[in-house]
């Protein structure tokens, strides 16, 4: 005799909306029993990410201006320009990670896909800058900065502030 499958808990506001299948496809199953990342580890990951991301940005700007000397003086390569946007992005990602671990039984799977989607959206301003006539080399450096920060942010968060029982590895 087999036991009947248990129905996943859903917030009352979601029940009967027809979104259940879509959310199930993305493993958004509201598993409040899953262990969350430690707040201490999340704070450490946030600090590591802010410092590391700003360092990576500075390094990429230095490499970019060395490889493409014509990009020296590009407005978006000034620390005050990229630092505030990098910090905002990192803080939002760090705030999103514990939310994802709360709503998904496969948080790494979902967060990986969210990171790709958010990064794709954040590349749109780079495309706009390019279309306005800015240097393709300078925009290329900005794109690389976005991609590096996204990869670093994902990896640092899921490793330094892991969800308690994430049972599934990311399948790419």
Q: Is residue 2 domain-resident? A: no
Q: Is residue 12 domain-resident? A: no
Max alpha carbon distance in the chain (Å)?
Answer: 73
- The helix/strand/coil state of 104 is strand
Identify the pLDDT of residue 80: 93
Q: Are 130 and 136 in contact (CB under 8 A)?
A: yes
Rounded CA separation 124/119 (Å): 9
Rounded CA separation 93/73 (Å): 29
pTM above 0.85, yes or no: no
What is the total count of domains within the chain?
Answer: 1
Our measurement of the distance from residue 159's CA atom to the centroid of its chain's CA atoms, rounded to an integer in Å, reads 13
Tell me the pLDDT of the chain (172 aa) as tens digits.
444 444 455 555 555 556 655 555 555 676 655 678 889 999 999 999 999 999 999 999 999 999 999 999 999 999 999 999 999 999 999 999 998 888 887 888 889 999 999 999 999 999 999 999 999 999 999 999 999 999 999 999 999 999 875 444 555 4
Identify the pLDDT of residue 78: 94
Identify the pLDDT of residue 10: 55
Q: Is residue 53 domain-resident? A: yes
Range of the domain at 83: 36-160
Over its C-alpha atoms, the chain yields an Rg (Å, rounded) of 20
């Amino acid at each position: 005799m087999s036991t009947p499958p248990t129905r996943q808990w859903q917030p009352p506001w979601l029940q009967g909306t027809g979104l259940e299948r879509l959310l199930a496809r993305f493993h958004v199953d509201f598993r409040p029993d899953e262990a969350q990342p430690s707040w201490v580890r999340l704070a450490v990951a946030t600090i590591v990410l802010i410092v590391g991301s700003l360092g990576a940005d500075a390094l990429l700007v230095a490499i970019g201006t060395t490889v493409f000397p014509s990009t020296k003086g590009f407005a978006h390569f000034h620390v005050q320009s990229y630092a505030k946007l990098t910090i905002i992005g990192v803080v939002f990602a760090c705030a999103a990670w514990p939310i994802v671990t709360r709503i998904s039984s496969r948080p790494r799977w979902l967060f990986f896909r969210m990171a790709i989607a958010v990064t794709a959206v954040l590349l749109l301003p780079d495309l706009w800058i390019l279309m306005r006539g800015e240097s393709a080399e300078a925009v290329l450096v900005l794109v690389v900065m976005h991609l590096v920060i996204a990869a670093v942010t994902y990896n640092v968060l899921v490793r330094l502030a892991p969800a308690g029982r994430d049972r599934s590895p990311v399948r790419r």
